[in-house]
Amino acid sequence: MKAITKHTYGGPEVLRLEEVEKPSSKEGHLLVQVKANSANPADWHILRGEPFFARFTFGLFKPKNKVLGAAFSGIVKEVAEHVTKFKIGDKVFGHMLQGGAFAEFICAPENFCGHMPIGSTFEEMACTPMAGLTALQALTTHGKLQEGESVLINGSSGGVGHFAVQIAKAYGAQVTAVCSSRNIDFVKSLGADAAIAYDQDDIHQHDKKYDLVLDTSGNLNFADFKRLGERGILVGFTTMGHMMSVLFKKGFGKFPLHQFTVEANTEDLNTLANLIKEGKVKPYIEKTYPSSKIPEAIEYIESMRTRGKVCMTWEP
């Protein structure tokens, strides 16, 4: 089968479209024919081996997993022993942080997969796993968002942010979205009640208070979280120094600030599928590339200025 591979750490130029061995299904796993992928910042962090501590997980001197990619959608071709929720022919979407998704086939644990809702496309559902799961878990699992609460979403027009705006509205919150001025109309079209352009109003001086502050951009400092929110969720990453500073200050304070790593599970994927089926959430796709151009897609998202998501498709 064809796959997008990496044999060394580096930028998109080290990626190759190569023939590799097709994975075989194993206990509790599904063999999925991949129809589409989406690009996520985790892909280029893992590709570059940055920040350095990530190499303790993904390979110290060279990548452990040769096939890049986390988010996928496709069709189940084989189900192994002890799979209970899926059958051959099901359309599924899922998330494999350890990689392997930018390929014609992937062998994924069933608990990392969910059923695609009727009426959705492979492109939409490939865009949903990592960004949608992160937004959902940030707001509900960690943010404990309640109906009627106010939430400030910093970095509201990108992959995670544009899901977060729609999910927060679906859960009955009042949403204030922070983005660049070129995306103000976009975030309002997603349902944001108010929007702040960070290139016109300095968010570090903004003094309104919200029940929850969700930072997908990763540029708020600890004082911002305390001034702006009753509680905070840190999702995004700018530099190690900035993140260490925020987490160090959190360690000495009482402000409820949480930082987490997204987890794939069928329950949350099904929650996202239901929100999409009910029309409460719609993934926005800014660009679609063929699978042979995945290196270009990764290069594009490295600027961290994506509107919604970037998708890649595997032709028959």
Ligand X SMILES: NC(=O)c1ccc[n+]([C@@H]2O[C@H](COP(=O)([O-])OP(=O)(O)OC[C@H]3O[C@@H](n4cnc5c(N)ncnc54)[C@H](OP(=O)(O)O)[C@@H]3O)[C@@H](O)[C@H]2O)c1
Nearer to ligand X (CB atom), residue 25 or residue 271: 271
Give yes or no for residue 212 binding ligand X (CB under 6 A).
no
Instruction: Specify the stretch interacting with ligand X by CB under 6 A; choose among 55-63, 105-113, 154-162, 240-248.
Output: 154-162
Identify the DSSP state of 67: B
Nearer to ligand X (CB atom), residue 40 or residue 176: 40
Minimum gap (Å) between residue 187 Cβ and ligand X: 8
Give yes or no for residue 131 binding ligand X (CB under 6 A).
yes
Give yes or no for residue 80 binding ligand X (CB under 6 A).
no
**8 A C-beta contact, residue 314 and residue 73:** no
Q: Measured in whole angstroms, how far is the alpha carbon of residue 260 from the centre of its chain? A: 13
Give yes or no for residue 261 binding ligand X (CB under 6 A).
yes
Nearer to ligand X (CB atom), residue 6 or residue 206: 206
Minimum gap (Å) between residue 247 Cβ and ligand X: 13
Instruction: Specify the stretch interacting with ligand X by CB under 6 A; choose among 18-26, 73-81, 215-223, 264-272.
Output: 215-223
Show contacts with ligand X in window 21-50 (CB under 6 A).
40-42
Give yes or no for residue 229 binding ligand X (CB under 6 A).
no
Per CB under 6 A, the list member of 70, 130, 168, 276 interacting with ligand X is: 130
- Cα(191)–Cα(36) distance, rounded to whole angstroms? 27
What b/e readout covers 246-259, taking b as 16+ CB neighbours within 10 angstroms? beebbeeeeebbeb
Nearer to ligand X (CB atom), residue 83 or residue 312: 312
At residue 204, the 3 state secondary structure works out as: coil
State the first-to-last Cα distance of the chain, in angstroms, to the nearest integer.
12
Instruction: Specify the stretch interacting with ligand X by CB under 6 A; choose among 81-89, 155-163, 222-230, 285-293.
Output: 155-163
- With a CB cutoff of 8 Å and minimum separation 6, the contacts of 57 are none
Distances in Å between the Cα of 239 and the Cα atoms of 21, 63, 132, 220, 243 are 37, 22, 23, 12, 6
Show contacts with ligand X in window 102-121 (CB under 6 A).
none
Minimum gap (Å) between residue 83 Cβ and ligand X: 26
Residue-wise DSSP of 93-128: EEE-TTS--SBSEEEEEGGGEEEPPTT--HHHHHHS
**8 A C-beta contact, residue 285 and residue 121:** no
Per CB under 6 A, the list member of 38, 73, 150, 157 interacting with ligand X is: 157
Nearer to ligand X (CB atom), residue 36 or residue 301: 301
Total residues binding ligand X (CB under 6 A): 32
- Cα(153)–Cα(212) distance, rounded to whole angstroms? 9
**8 A C-beta contact, residue 147 and residue 172:** yes
Nearest-CB residue for ligand X: 158
Residue whose C-alpha is closest to residue 234's, from 217, 251, 249, 255? 217
Show contacts with ligand X in window 269-308 (CB under 6 A).
301, 304-306
Give yes or no for residue 159 binding ligand X (CB under 6 A).
yes
The letter for the amino acid at 111 is: N
Give yes or no for residue 178 binding ligand X (CB under 6 A).
yes
Q: Which residues bind ligand X (CB under 6 A)?
A: 40-42, 130-131, 134, 154-155, 157-161, 178-180, 183, 198, 216-219, 235-237, 260-262, 301, 304-306
